[in-house]
Structure 1
């Protein structure tokens, strides 16, 4: 039985330019047409062992091979490379091209043409990418206010961008499209938000007219000992709101959450917990519950202070 053909190490896992590999004698065109290789883009191939149809990094590696020198991976794809995953599984790779640059169209590539000075480009993980600051600037000007705020919050939380620097960058580019949206986002941005759903929940409550909450508040007991950290808090009223993601359903997390919730209640806190369904499918009921809790605690506070001896 013949042994399988040896795969050159350089071609084993990462995408590569077929024409270059053939010119270097690493492979033949006949081999590339065989079942061991996937053609990702024109002249870009990957071995079947490295092929994952929904692996965005693989697609970024492939697209980068075709980019002109002055172009860069950008937008949600750049955010992904900076450690912020806002992508659906089949999302195309977003790239920024100067207006004079050329790139063949492809379903897996989403091209935006824009000025892209050298100062807004860098290399990260071996790939040409917009700087984290330029990435936040671009994403904060796109889509809905909620989507833009989620993206900026996530990049700020990742600590690859700082809010003062993003504000200064926006001030330095006052005529760019989408600046009114970005200014709204900058007024709402919260670097302490730990997930897109936390940002959505926070915006939902703000848009309903509820007072701003403190994000990631540390709760202490009467002796000053740490009890727990809550997602959103109104410390003066001892009301907290938390978003429960799927990981909270795991047994270890569940037990920890029960103990933590009991400790918060013992410290005098009223804690409301919400899921994605509450935020996305029952927003009015969610707002009503939080508003009622705040009213209840405010009435208790007023009653206690009015009736307390002087």
Structure 2
């Protein structure tokens, strides 16, 4: 084998069987690992040490040694589709999350370090091949994650898929009929009811749900401020336009700050909300925002409708 051929082999995950077909025996692979030229991705699969350790590399390695018909699913599938979803609480202490896969009904459930497998039947059209890796489709991935998550995490997931355009806005309601017979269908129904693809981040979604849970009126998500000529001049993460109260998520303060601003000739109450505070103490954050909103409504009772 020439150095060029060896470089090509090491640039992608490979098994010992693949190495043998290229004239490289088990002992040579072990020497390459020992010398630091090759590293093991998961048990039975290797790659050149120069290849960056990415989720795609690990997912590609996993399907090489799992039973025929294995498909990447769950959070791993979401990330491969380009949607960042909350980590599984079971993996908080792990340096890297396991690759989540599903194997066909009747296949032996594999137990391989670095993988988390389950048995599940997939219908036609529920498997796609981005980059040559079998992955559950965006709709199936979103439905699976929502059905097995708590309410807020499920809405975060669905918002992420909607925001990425992987599920058309009008198609989310179709999830209910498509997965009506699956476990977790009530969680899915609630997430569909609450989801809003205009949300720009997980923090926006969770704050919106917390405000709704505190009894405040529904907010507009991603409210765009426009000039008299229709030009977009700003955006609020969340807003009550009738009361002219807008919420901005910031990274530089320790507490919610209320400021009065004139925007496009209108007086707005702008609530600057630190994302760190919203994550650390959502109850206090919501209480402060609710207090400012109610004060604004009372002060303007004669001019605006609550």
| TM band (smaller chain) | 0.7 to 0.9
How far 1:31 moved relative to its partner?
1.7
- Is the alpha carbon distance of 1:109 and 1:122 closer, same or farther for their aligned partners in structure 2, counting shifts above 3 Å? same
- The equivalences for 1:220-231 within 5 A come to 220-221=226-227, 224-231=230-237
Q: Separation in 1 of the partners of 2:251 and 2:117?
A: 34
How far 1:168 moved relative to its partner?
1.4
How far 1:221 moved relative to its partner?
4.3
TM-score (normalised: structure 1): 0.84
2:71·2:127 contact (CA, 8 Å) conserved in 1?
yes
Q: Separation in 1 of the partners of 2:128 and 2:66?
A: 14
- The equivalences for 1:264-303 within 5 A come to 264=263, 267-303=266-302
Q: Separation in 2 of the partners of 1:80 and 1:305?
A: 44
How far 1:71 moved relative to its partner?
2.4
Equivalence for 2:7: 9
- Is the alpha carbon distance of 1:209 and 1:107 closer, same or farther for their aligned partners in structure 2, counting shifts above 3 Å? farther
- The equivalences for 1:138-149 within 5 A come to 138-149=144-155
Which deviates more from structure 2 when the two are superposed, residues 63-72 or residues 171-180? Answer: 63-72
Q: Separation in 1 of the partners of 2:175 and 2:282?
A: 34
Is 1:156 equivalent to 2:162 in the alignment? Answer: yes
RMSD: 2.6
Is 1:215 equivalent to 2:221 in the alignment? Answer: yes
Equivalence for 2:257: none
2:40·2:46 contact (CA, 8 Å) conserved in 1?
yes
Q: Separation in 1 of the partners of 2:173 and 2:113?
A: 34
Secondary structure at 1:210 match in 2 = coil
How far 1:145 moved relative to its partner?
1.0
Equivalence for 2:29: 32
Is 1:110 equivalent to 2:116 in the alignment? Answer: yes
1:38·1:45 contact (CA, 8 Å) conserved in 2?
yes
CA deviation map 1:100-153 (0-9, x unaligned):
123531231111221112321110122100011111111111121111111111
How far 1:224 moved relative to its partner?
4.9
Equivalence for 2:44: 43
1:153·1:190 contact (CA, 8 Å) conserved in 2?
yes
2:43·2:113 contact (CA, 8 Å) conserved in 1?
no
Which deviates more from structure 2 when the two are superposed, residues 142-151 or residues 94-103? Answer: 94-103
- The equivalences for 1:178-217 within 5 A come to 178-217=184-223
Is 1:167 equivalent to 2:164 in the alignment? Answer: no
How far 1:298 moved relative to its partner?
1.5
Give the number of equivalent residue pairs: 287
Secondary structure at 2:300 match in 1 = helix
How far 1:218 moved relative to its partner?
1.0
Equivalence for 1:242: 248
Structure 2 segments unaligned to the other structure (5+ residues) = 254-259
How far 1:183 moved relative to its partner?
0.8
2:152·2:206 contact (CA, 8 Å) conserved in 1?
yes
- Is the alpha carbon distance of 1:51 and 1:186 closer, same or farther for their aligned partners in structure 2, counting shifts above 3 Å? same
1:137·1:166 contact (CA, 8 Å) conserved in 2?
no
